[in-house]
Amino acid sequence: MLYVKNVPNGERVLRVVAGSLAAAAGLLAVGGTAGVLLAASAAGIVASGLFGFCPMCAMAGRRLDKAKKNGAL
């Protein structure tokens, strides 16, 4: 694997939903060049949710807790 997941599952779902809504709003409500740019940036948010890796979070040093990841408390 080329990257280590740094976004927890709950946030991943939220990113996919929010990014999809932002893309739809950009294409349907805003329209034009601004709408396409909004939809393109929202696609990046959706991608980070699908892959579980956020480059900006990695730059900030965010890591997932391995104990929670393995199901242990």
**DSSP, residue by residue, the chain:** --S---S-HHHHHHHHHHHHHHHHHIIIII-HHHHHHHHHHHHHHHHHHHHT--HHHHHTT----HHHHTT--
Looking at residues 36-64, what average pLDDT do you find? Answer: 92
Over residues 1-44, the pLDDT tens digits come to 577 889 999 999 999 999 999 999 999 998 899 999 999 999 99
pLDDT of 68 strictly over 70: no
